[in-house]
Each structure stands twice: as C-alpha cells, then as structure tokens.
Amino acid sequence: MEEDKISIAVVKRLPRYYRYLGDLLDNGITRISSGELSKKMHITASQIRQDLNKFGRFGQRGYGYDVELLYDEIKKILGLDRKYNMIIIGAGNLGQALANYGNFSRRGFKFIGIFDKDINKIGMKVGDMTVQDVEELDSFLNGNSVDIAVLSIPKTNASQITSILVKNGIKGIWNYSHIDLRTPDDVVVENVHLTDSVMTLSYKLSEREKPNKD
C-alpha cells in the first residue's frame, strides 16, 4: 500500500487546523464545510480538502466535516493522544519561561527535569522543579523515561549536550540554540530560532519601506 509521503508543509499546517477546530468546538459549532473553514482561515478550500485527504476520508459529501471528529483525528495524527516527558537543558530566561508556560502541560507535554551548568542556578526552583547540575544529566536520563529534550543553551555547548542526549536514546529535540544540530536519522529535531525569526521580520519591514512598493 503505497502511501504518499507527507510533506513538511502539510504537517506545519496541521496545528493551525487543530487550533481553528478547537475554537469551533469551543463555540459549539458541530459541523463545518471546507468552504466555510476556507473563509475563516484564509486558505483555499481545495487545500484544506487535499491536506486532510492525505490522512484519511474524514468528511461526508453533502454535509461537510464533523468538527469534533475531525478535531480528534488531527489530535491523533499530531500524536497528541499521548503524554510526553520533557526535560529542559539550560535554565536561563528562556528555559524558565518554557518551564512556566502552562499551555504545554495542557497538551500533554510534561516537564520532569531542568538542568544547568551554572552553579548559581543549580538548586533554584523553577515551577515545581529544581534545577539540577547538567553533570547529572547522563544519570538522570538513565533512570527516567524522557521523550523530548528542550535545548535552551548557548550554541557553544549545544553539540556536546546533544551527543549526551543521543547517546541516552533521546529521540526528540526541541532546539532553541542558534545552531544546526547534527543528529542520527532516527532523532527528530524541531528548531525554534528566535533570532532568525526577528531577522525575517526586519527583512519584511525593510521591504515595506522601500520605494516603488505601492
């Protein structure tokens, strides 16, 4: 059964569908057509149908999509029907912010540890966790089931930490370090490069200000 490879562009749209469907649910809307959703989301109805059909036939001709059913399906597709244990490497401002950000635990992403190498941070309370010495990372990984590691450390240390993670069988890395990690094929990395993001914004701003634009 030769299934199409799902492109990353499609995958990146799924959370957005999920969010809109959640909003519809919250508003008590039980059915929606690709046409209506298209208007709300400002993408073509064709793309919505095409995207969804990559994963299955969730709609009903003449009726549309059942919001709750579709919501649950996308939840499953995104792997949100299970729990994930996460650790944070780097208890700086960003690491702390992520640890304290409530939205993740609501979705099943649970922080079970936070690490730093700074002696001033070790022992500090962050949320309901205590910052541990990164020297203990290796043994911690040995004794705990960790699904995802968040990397919020300077790029100079990122590669070394990554090899410890990989060695201990971590399969998911959420990388906030401003560096491209090299990992084996079976380790998945999702990058959040905030500096890249603000640069993209400044590019757009500069473009906007150029003459002959309107």
Partner DNA sequence: TGTTTAATATTTATTGATTGACAAAAAAGG
Partner DNA sequence: CCTTTTTTGTCAATCAATAAATATTAAACA
For residue 118, give the nearest of 145, 143, 153 by alpha carbon.
Answer: 153
Comparison of 45 and 78: residue with beta carbon closer to a copy of itself: 78
Helix (H) or strand (E) segment spanning residue 170: none
Residues in contact with a copy of itself, total (CB under 8 A)?
54
Cα separations in angstroms, 126 against 22, 42, 46, 84, 198: 30, 40, 46, 19, 27
Taking residues 40 to 79 in sequence order and writing x for each that binds a copy of itself by CB under 8 A, - otherwise, the string is -xx----------------------------------xxx
- 14 touches, from DNA, a copy of itself, none (C-beta below 5 to 8 Å by class): a copy of itself
State the residues that interact with DNA by CB under 7 A: 7-10, 32-35, 43-47, 49-50, 52-53, 57-65
Least CB distance to a copy of itself at residue 170 (A): 11
Choice from 32, 65, 104, 139 touching a copy of itself (CB under 8 A)? 104
Which is it for strands 109-116 and 84-89: parallel, antiparallel or unpaired?
Answer: parallel
| One-character DSSP codes across 71-90 | HHHHHHHTT-SS-EEEEEE-
- If one asks whether residue 194 binds a copy of itself (CB under 8 A), the answer comes out as yes
Least CB distance to a copy of itself at residue 79 (A): 3
- 204 touches, from a copy of itself, DNA, none (C-beta below 5 to 8 Å by class): a copy of itself
Least CB distance to a copy of itself at residue 66 (A): 21
Encoded amino acid at 4, one letter: D
- Is the CB of residue 122 less than 8 Å from the CB of residue 149? no
